[in-house]
Each structure stands twice: as C-alpha cells, then as structure tokens.
Structure 1
Amino acid sequence: MGKGPRNYSQLTRTRLFSLSGNQCAFPGCPITFTNPENDTNLSNICHIAGAEKGGERYDPNMTDKERASYENLILLCANHHLTTNDVSKHTVLSLKKMKQDHEKEVLRKIGASDILNKYPSSLALIINHISSIDIENVDMLTSTNIYSPDKKITYNEVVVYKPILEEYKVYHGKLNKIYSEIEKQGSFKKELLLQNINKLYLKAKGELLEIDTSIENIRKNADKLIELVEKYLWELYEKSPNAKEDIPFEAVNVGMKIIIVDAFVRCKILEEPK
C-alpha cells in the first residue's frame, strides 16, 4: 500500500462500513449503499478534515496517517459528499457529530438485534486480542473500585460518549460471567486486558493533556480521551494475529464497546469519583 491521506487500512474500511448501517450518514438520507442483486456501491469515503492542501476543512497540523484514519472519515452518498463541501454549514465539529449520531443509531439497532447471543465468542475474541499484546511499560492506576456508570459520567462530565456508556452498561454482568470463566481456567487475561486499557488511558492523557492533568482539564477533554483510547484499542486489535473472520464485524464492534464501557466502570478509563 502507498502512503498518503487516502491510504485507508482494511480495518478502517471495515469499521466504516460495519457502522454505516449500509446507509449515508447525512440526516434523513434514504440512500442505501449496496444492492445484493448487483455489485454497485454508492458510498463515498469522505474526509472530515480535508485530505489535501486547499481541500475543505484542511488542517495543516494533521499527518497523512491522521487524515486517513477512521476518526477523520465519514461515509456519505455522492450527493451529500458534494453538499458537505459547504464549509460554512459543515464544519469539522458538525461532521464529527453527524457521524457519531449516525453510528450511535446503527449501534443501537445492532444491539437490539441480539447479535451477542448469536455470536457469543465475539467478547472472548476482543479479550484475547487486547490481553495478548504487551504494551510498553507505563505506571498504572491502582484503583480497583467499581462505580455506577451514571456517577462516573457525571463526575467526568462525559457528553458525546454518554449515550453509548448508558446503552452498554447493561452488558457489565455478561462480561463478568466471561471473566469468571476465564479465572476458573487459571488465566490472567482479565487482569492483562484491564492493565492494557489502563496503560492506553494514561498514554492518551499524556498525549492529549501533556502536563495539565487536573480534573478540570480531564473533564474538558473527557470525550476526546475515550475516543483516543478506543483508537488505540482498535490499533492493537489490528496487530493481533488471532483474528477470527467467521464472526461478523458488527458483533466485534459491539464487543469492543462493551469492553470500553466495562473498563470505564472499573475506573481504568477516566477518573474515579471523589
């Protein structure tokens, strides 16, 4: 693969399409991307911050890797790709919100489809991926407290991720059962998984907040911190050699959200309420 702002990894493409619901992300757009009866695909992979100098919403401080990343891409139909070229109406923030709102609704539908019961190994797959990789040495938080998601959301002033945290907190018990089975087998995968997630959170704090790690600055950047941890987790997933391609990626997506919400509740992501 070549380099550049359109060098999308296979995982990035898969994530985009699996959370598109096969539809344009523009609110109210009825366009369906693919038709099972033929090979047409009406989707456009669109950059939120422009791909090249002179492009809409171009950010000179971004690298080409960041421009080609999942976080900077949105799937639209051709018409709405052109519509969003109007930068007076469609800013980086408004397009990110458009993508987030669309994906939240798709995730809600996926969750309602009982996909985890159809593919129960998807959670175990994520645990195997994240726990099998040794992250560079970072001092970890020692807290093992578990808090009400609502209490932690309020304390850290989470906004964008709040609906996802509320939607997936109900799976905390299901994940606990999996952890119990793992522990019965004498495995430390649960501890390794949570340690890795905690290390990624501390890495995100260092990258995003630099020296100001006050609770006020954490609250100001709470959603960005969760987004960065999720980005790191998908990068780890991509590196893992244990991928099972027989599980639909929609189930893997749900599994990743559950792992993130559980780590949030266990105070491995964001701060412990005082």
Structure 2
Amino acid sequence: MAITDKTRKSLWAKSGNRCSICKTELFNDGVEKNEFNIGEECHIISSKSNGPRYKPNINDYDLFNNLILLCRNHHKEIDELTETYTEDILRYMKLNHENWVKSTINDAIDKEKKNKPRLISRITSGKELLTVISDSHGYRTDYDDIDNKEEAEYIGSIFQELVDYGDISSMVETYDKIQMGFQLNELLKGLEDRGYFLFGEKGIEKWKFGDGTSDNWKVATLIIKKKDSSEILKVDLDETNEL
C-alpha cells in the first residue's frame, strides 16, 4: 500500500512543517520562488525485511502512527543508528514533537488574542445608550485614571445614573423610555462638555453560580475616556473626522 493523501496531510499538519528532531522548517520557497522541500515521510517500522526496525505481519505500514516527519539528514541518521533510534524512542519523539507544535500554536493564538486591541464603539445618542443598558443583568465599567476628588465624584455619579436607568428600563412604558432616551442624550452632552466620551456595548456571557449552575446573562460594558486618550482610535468615515 501507499501513504494516502489524508495521512500525508495529517502528518505534515501535526508536525507543523518541521523536522521532528531538529525542528528545521522543511518546506520553503527557495531562490526565485522555486519550491524547496527537504522533508521526508519516514517509516518508524520498515515494511522491508532488511529495513530498519522491521516487524512482520503488520497489515499496513503506511498508517499515520507509523510515520514520522524528518529532514533528510535525520531520516538517514535514524535508519543507520537503529540501536539508538528504537521504535519506542521514535514514537516518543513523534508524540513529543506533535504536542510541541500544538502547544506552540495555541500559545501564539492566546498571545495574539491578549495583545489584540478590543474595539468598542463610541455611544453618540441617548437612544443608543438606552439600548446598551436596558434589561442588563450586570455592568462592567472602566475609566481613565482619576486626577482629583471632583472628577472621581462626577465619573462615579455618571456610572451610578446609568446603572439606575438600566435597572428600571424593563419596568417602564414606551413613553417613559422615550423620555429616558432624551435624558440620556443630555447626559452624553454633559460628558462631552466636560471632555469625555462614552463607549459601550452589550454582550451575552455565561455566569456560574456557587451551587454549580450557570446561566446566560446580558452584560453591559461602559467605558468613559477623556477625549485626548491615546486609546481612542479615530476612523475617517466618508472623508469626515467622526469617531
């Protein structure tokens, strides 16, 4: 039998295009974009009676578990030094390398997620703000460093007012919600007059409780930033300077 395309793809993917011993990259673009491949799909147990680590009566020698991806140098080395590179040693090296590839990729993904900036839209109307805070089960707030007591009291009062609006939003009629939207619009204007912008979003999060149960909760994220904050990204839309 021969190595199937599926097995070949699995071998190269799980090995990360690297030699299982020296970690050398196996497939590259060479000079003038010519394909340069030093990778070899090597058998741990040879199917030939005079081959390295040969065992008889194996149904298929070309299965994934009997293959290890190596560079040409190490392929030659394991087939010549069979007392050093036993079946058990090669199987351990194969598993260890594939686990290394998996963990390295996962770590890189996790690092990218942590370093990736989170983009939250600026709230520009009371109606939009009411939608974010309405019927929320919880609130997550953030703000710039506070410079003085007056600023602390002001920012604290804004957050408390937003939470209060959110808590009662489910208990009022449509007319009252329109009035709330107007009042929140005035709140936003007051924030801007004092040099702040409000950013927010609503999301669904799974919360776990002490008794082991869990439930999906609506969580409103509210962030107050000074207008000159370096964390604010300005986007030019339709050749305007809107945020």
Query: Shorter-chain TM-score: what band?
Result: 0.3 to 0.5
Comparing both structures, which one devotes a greater share of its residues to helix? Answer: 1
Of structures 1 and 2, the one with the larger relative CO (CA 8 A, separation 6+) is 1
Structure 1 length normalisation: TM-score? 0.37
